[in-house]
Amino acid sequence: MRFLFLMLIWASMTAWAAPTDDDLDRQALEKGLVAQLGDHFSQARQSMSGKASELVVQAMGLLGVPYRRGGANENTGFDCSGFVRHLYEQSIGLVLPRRADEQAKATQSIDRNELKPGDLVFFNTMRRTFSHVGIYLGDGKFIHSPHTGSSVRVDDMREAYWNKRFTGARRVESVEAEKQR
């Protein structure tokens, strides 16, 4: 799974437009990733659906965008739920609710061990369940817009802080998300 994370970082360096399979293969070959990762590159790419892959690529492209309470776009900044909502709308075309707790209600609960790239992960960071949300990347990593004074970044869910506050994993089902439009 470490290789999936490396592939995701590589993907963040690619263009904003959704890459085709040929583009991903060509760019990976040019950057030497295929040689470095071997079969893990192919396995990681096959494990992600096209839409999840696009969502993750776009998410990684937003690394460093500043946190802004109530923020919902890359020009002015994001809060956690604005970041998730923006990515799902831009990459998949689904409009999720605005708040993290509402996003949790509108999505399907899954076990932590069922997480796949693109799934949502929720945390209790404000003394209430589902007060923070991020997007799972694989290998225990997630991308999110954490708090004032920070910016969009990748963290490890297994770190003590996040592990202690983890409150659930959810999968976005298109039917539920579309109801929120």
Would you name the residues annotated as active-site residues?
A: 80, 132, 144
* The two structure tokens encoding residue 30: 């040019």
69 burial level (CB within 10 Å; 0-12, 13-18, 19+) = exposed
State how far the Cα of 87 lies from the Cα of 42, in Å rounded to an integer: 25
* The two structure tokens encoding residue 89: 């709308």
Q: Is 39 helix (H, G, I), strand (E, B) or coil?
A: helix
State how far the Cα of 132 lies from the Cα of 81, in Å rounded to an integer: 7
